[in-house]
Structure 1
Amino acid sequence: MKRWVATTTAILMVLSMVLLAACGKDSSNAMAEKQVLNVGYITSEPPALDPLKGTDEISDLVMRHVLEGLVRLDENGNPIPGIATKWDVMDGGKKIIFHLRDAKWSNGDPVTAQDFEYAWKRMLDPKNAAEYAYQLFYLKNGEAYNSGKAKAEDVGVKALDDKTLEVTLESPTPYFIPLTAFHALFPVDKKVAEKNPNWGTDAKTYVGNDPFLLKTWVHDKKIELVKNPNYWDAKNVKLTQINFPFIGEEQTEYQMYVSGSLDMSRNVPPDLAVGLIKEKKAKIIHQPALYYYIFNTKKKPFDNVKIRKAFSLAIDREAIVKDVLGQGQTPATGWVPWGIRDFNQNKEWVQTHAPYIQPKANPAEAKKLLQEGMKEEGITQLPDITISYNTNEGHKKIAEAIQQMWKQNLGVNVKLANTEWKVFLDNLTQGNFQVARYGWVPDYMDPMTFMDMWVTGGGNNNAKYSNPQYDALIKQAKATGDQKVRMEAMHKAEDILARDMPVAPIYNYTQVYLLKDYVKGVEIEPDGSFTFTHAYLTEK
């Protein structure tokens, strides 16, 4: 999550899962004889299908259908049994005992508590340098082990036997049990991973435990999943196969949908979206996700806070959502987007504070700050500025619009550079950028999933931002289960983000999607992710 978002729009549901049956479930429609679903969703090669390495929404999509964690989430975002049939919470929330069901890996091995212990410690192992290791810092000594200050046996996860997993947390964490539905906490078949570290790169060696099996992975072309007959709830899985062709062009995907080659399309061409919505041929929904530009705070000129603020102030967010996108998006007013709740005030987070960012550009203030920043840097001319984005028509249009805004409002010449998704992510991780487009989907439905990204040395902190005061506030929020203390600390932390501006929030996501009337039971989880586990096709 969830994850870097590959496209300009992503799917939303604010705190509930819904069934996307075009006219609702219709039991009068007979089941189609052929239960094969063709989905336009994946635009380019998933970077990784191993929980250790996957950090993006495309990898997450596939992993959620071939791997299952301790729990799943219901329509309200609450945990329900997955591999764990039940759990006992003790010691004021600091200890949790998970009781596992009889389940099998796709190679016939039993799924055991040892597989979870192994996978979590593998994620934390400093030798693996996992970007998502921080999601397991909630475990007692998790961060200490990851930083080389403790041993693996000190970490608060232990298989008491094959079917019992004991988890000990540093502090009570209200969202930890739902977090185990996130792919970074999925199990890994210990015997397979120890024998072959690259097990997750090929369909022939891939081992899963979810409703579907990875049948085919033709790199840069397609992924095909088939029903797992050994899944513990296989009787409620109706699809026999899901096909995900990799489609790089939105127009091509749309034509495939119109021609009947696809049953669903998630990437609708922006120039067609508004008309399709008016004609009720497409649907639009909101997602608790944020589109933003990130500054490399370790590279000039964006190591200067006034220059970062100047570039942010020069963006007309209202023009972007209305004139470039026009699909119901709203200008971002802060770092935490719509759809995420403040659990102390019991309302949406965005409603609990004055806007940090105004929808319209402020050229006068932007120019003033730019000049002050350049003076501080001792320069009279900025170096070449480049906006990096992954190949996508929507990203291109946004980048072109911002390129013109920065030229008009700041007098700055800006270049554009696009690369395919996997290369783009690699460049971000390596710091090979000045300004880059980002999108973030929540890993769990709590503001912390947005706030802890920017702690010093964080696995997804590609801005290389560091502020000790910010770090202390996030640490304070994580050290307690008191929602008042947690929320107030995170609000103060967001104040600091607005002051330091390592990222420039741009808009809150929506998604336009197309779904054939005969496709039923597609689910949208609270974080906006599609799930096809209970989907099925009726007669056309």
Structure 2
Amino acid sequence: MKIKYIAILFSSVLVAIVLTGCGQASSDSNKNRPMTVTLNGEPATADPAQTTDVNSSTIVSQTMQGLYTLSPSGKVVASVAKKVVKPTDGGKRYVFNLRKTKWSNGEEVTAKDFVAGFQRAVDPKTKSQRLSNYKFIKNFEAVSTGKAPVSEFGVKALSKYRFEIQLSAPVPYFDYLLTDYYPINQSAAKKFGSTYGTSSGKIVTNGPYKLVGWNGTSTSFKLKKNPKYTLQNVRIPTVNVKVEKDGSTALNLFKANKVQITQLSGQLVKSNANNPSLKTTKILRNAYLEFNGKNKTTNNTNLHKAISYVLDREQLTKSVLQDGSVAAWSMVPQGDASNPTTGEDFAKEVGNKLKVNTKAAKVYWRNAQSELGKKRITVQLLTGDDDASKQVGEYMQAVLKKELPGLNLTLKTVPQAQHIQMGSDKNYEINLDGWSTGWYDPADFLQMAEYGNALSFSNWKDAKYQKLISQINDTTKYSTKQRYDLMLEADRYLMQQQGIVPLYQVAQSNLVDKRLGGIKFTALSGIQYQYAYWK
């Protein structure tokens, strides 16, 4: 779960543009034509401080704007801030001059709203799972643990439209983080308290769209153009959103010319491989298994290794998923970072640590049986209810039954919001999870195994790994090259211990109608409706 957004596994956005008329419409008639967007899972929240899944992140990215945002090609550009600024004080002080913008309720967006948004995100009372995104800001540890008041957090309103951030250490990818920090409307936050963002009536936004008709569990709702938004000309006034989990249904809508963009998975990707409308992008998202460290059985390292090494990831991606996803080599996906000296890809430099080795897996399984004092063990795998997650669960179930006699894997499939909550509550034995990053830095994936990190659902605890993460986070003491080498060491060590078991790097495949413009897919950013237009 996570985006950087935490997300239920494989719940990438299914985008669909539904025509409201017949035949080829003129430019004038296209002007007010709505889009219909399908998501393959339910958004869990509209609150930016609580967003950890892809579908919720999709809604937030359409309705909120931070200091910076991402362009259609995935480049960091200024948003509420007037420009992308250069830090001072050794890379630790950022000062932003803000544009004059408004909330959807007509109130002005001010520097104090950014202060309030940052403070709320780290306030222990908020219980945000996105805490780690703020860890480099001054006094984070003391404030987030309740040892200091939120007023001591390193953010300040220097004037009505001048906002300052003080870091505890320079962050090489901080510009990307700034696309993921949002202000909050203070009057709405005060009015709705802990229920803020649980429905469209309990949130005020400053982005290109307003959320309309969503009650927290709705399977259909709307994004309406925000008349108060002036940072860009939004060309499509209404986005109808519908949760549609069945890929075949979405494909049929596309073929019937009722859907202009939709995501495909599995056999649907294979059967449409020669379709010129198919666009496949390998994204910075890894799917992986988490083992509940509070459970004696699933905390067993030999069990982790037995399950990991018996799985043939090439077979899983090429014969089961068949959607362009590729076998994971380690915790960090390909294309996430490169060696600052040689330029070599990080994942390739770590090497493939996850090759199938059935013989070794059987040895680890016997060791696990001995340590646990049982010949027959039953464990449950928790997954989302999307097609890809179900396929992975069924594949694992069949392989374990065949190759590791005595190990019985049962499957529990639940809707997205419930999956996220059960993971957060550690209410599982093995969890099929995933992480999508919002910036190019291996630490964002490595933190998924960090004990105590709100984004990590595993409870895996290892003193050496914790020390490595602490060193990686100390950007003042360690140079760029030293930090890179520490991340290499951390990834290799994590794969040696199999604290988390990566499965594959996700590919997103979409059918795109040629009559739409402004639709781009990148390794980092999901689709942004504000850039879309009818040709």
TM-score (norm 2): 0.92
Kindly indicate whether residue 257 of structure 2 is the aligned counterpart of residue 260 of structure 1: yes
Q: How many angstroms does 1:136 deviate by?
A: 0.7
Change (3 A) 1:233 1:492: same
Counterparts of 2:157 and 2:523, CA distance in 1: 30
Kindly indicate whether residue 253 of structure 2 is the aligned counterpart of residue 251 of structure 1: no
Q: How many angstroms does 1:45 deviate by?
A: 2.2
Q: How many angstroms does 1:524 deviate by?
A: 2.7
Q: SS at the partner of 2:304?
A: helix
Counterparts of 2:266 and 2:311, CA distance in 1: 20
Match of 1:115 among 113, 116, 128: 113
Q: What does residue 325 of structure 2 align with? A: 329
**Partner AA of 1:458 in structure 2:** N
Q: What does residue 485 of structure 2 align with? A: 488
Q: How many angstroms does 1:342 deviate by?
A: 2.5
Matches within 5 A, 1:6-405: 6=8, 8=10, 10=12, 30=27, 32-74=29-71, 77-86=74-83, 87-182=85-180, 185-197=181-193, 198-217=195-214, 219-234=217-232, 236-266=233-263, 268-344=264-340, 345-358=342-355, 361-377=356-372, 379-405=373-399
Matches within 5 A, 1:501-540: 501-538=498-535
Q: SS at the partner of 1:335?
A: coil
Counterparts of 1:372 and 1:525, CA distance in 2: 44
Match of 2:464 among 457, 465, 469: 469
The C-alpha deviation readout for 1:91-113, integer Å capped at 9, x for no partner, is 01011111111000000111011
Q: How many angstroms does 1:223 deviate by?
A: 2.5
Kindly indicate whether residue 432 of structure 2 is the aligned counterpart of residue 437 of structure 1: yes
Counterparts of 1:529 and 1:279, CA distance in 2: 22
**Partner AA of 2:462 in structure 1:** N
Alignment RMSD: 2.2
Match of 1:427 among 422, 425, 430: 422
Kindly indicate whether residue 3 of structure 2 is the aligned counterpart of residue 4 of structure 1: no
Q: How many angstroms does 1:253 deviate by?
A: 2.0
Change (3 A) 1:216 1:523: farther
Counterparts of 1:65 and 1:447, CA distance in 2: 27
Contact 1:97–1:167, Cα closer than 8 Å, also in 2 = yes
Aligned residues: 517
Q: How many angstroms does 1:7 deviate by?
A: 5.3
Q: SS at the partner of 2:90?
A: helix
Counterparts of 1:32 and 1:439, CA distance in 2: 41
Counterparts of 1:7 and 1:435, CA distance in 2: 13
Kindly indicate whether residue 405 of structure 2 is the aligned counterpart of residue 407 of structure 1: no
Q: How many angstroms does 1:34 deviate by?
A: 4.4
Identity level (%): 26
Contact 2:267–2:322, Cα closer than 8 Å, also in 1 = no
Q: How many angstroms does 1:176 deviate by?
A: 1.4
Counterparts of 1:253 and 1:156, CA distance in 2: 46
**Partner AA of 1:168 in structure 2:** Q
Q: How many angstroms does 1:269 deviate by?
A: 5.0
Contact 1:289–1:338, Cα closer than 8 Å, also in 2 = no
TM-score (norm 1): 0.91
Q: SS at the partner of 2:441?
A: coil
Question: More displaced, 122-131 or 148-157?
Answer: 148-157
Counterparts of 2:29 and 2:305, CA distance in 1: 56
Contact 1:35–1:536, Cα closer than 8 Å, also in 2 = no
Q: How many angstroms does 1:180 deviate by?
A: 1.3
The C-alpha deviation readout for 1:137-186, integer Å capped at 9, x for no partner, is 1111112211123222221111111111111101011111221112xx21
Q: SS at the partner of 2:201?
A: coil
Change (3 A) 1:535 1:289: same
Counterparts of 1:292 and 1:31, CA distance in 2: 48
Change (3 A) 1:74 1:43: closer
Q: How many angstroms does 1:119 deviate by?
A: 1.0
Contact 1:10–1:528, Cα closer than 8 Å, also in 2 = no
**Partner AA of 2:6 in structure 1:** W
Contact 1:321–1:330, Cα closer than 8 Å, also in 2 = yes
Change (3 A) 1:507 1:448: same
Counterparts of 1:413 and 1:149, CA distance in 2: 45
Change (3 A) 1:188 1:168: same
Q: SS at the partner of 1:204?
A: helix
Q: SS at the partner of 1:386?
A: strand
Q: How many angstroms does 1:475 deviate by?
A: 1.9
Contact 2:265–2:321, Cα closer than 8 Å, also in 1 = no
Q: What does residue 20 of structure 2 align with? A: none
Q: How many angstroms does 1:348 deviate by?
A: 2.2
Counterparts of 2:472 and 2:29, CA distance in 1: 51
Contact 1:11–1:285, Cα closer than 8 Å, also in 2 = no
Q: SS at the partner of 2:530?
A: coil
Counterparts of 1:213 and 1:471, CA distance in 2: 41
Q: How many angstroms does 1:88 deviate by?
A: 4.5
The C-alpha deviation readout for 1:432-462, integer Å capped at 9, x for no partner, is 1111211211032211211122222100110
Change (3 A) 1:257 1:115: same
Counterparts of 1:247 and 1:302, CA distance in 2: 34
Question: More displaced, 197-206 or 119-128?
Answer: 197-206
The C-alpha deviation readout for 1:478-502, integer Å capped at 9, x for no partner, is 2216311221111111122112212
**Partner AA of 2:420 in structure 1:** L
Contact 2:317–2:504, Cα closer than 8 Å, also in 1 = yes
Counterparts of 2:174 and 2:522, CA distance in 1: 17
Q: How many angstroms does 1:525 deviate by?
A: 4.5
**Partner AA of 1:492 in structure 2:** E
Change (3 A) 1:343 1:152: farther
Q: SS at the partner of 2:487?
A: helix
Change (3 A) 1:287 1:31: farther
Contact 2:6–2:455, Cα closer than 8 Å, also in 1 = no
Q: How many angstroms does 1:9 deviate by?
A: 7.1
Flag the structure with more relative contact order, 1 or 2, with Cα contacts below 8 A and sequence separation at least 6: 1
**Partner AA of 1:341 in structure 2:** A
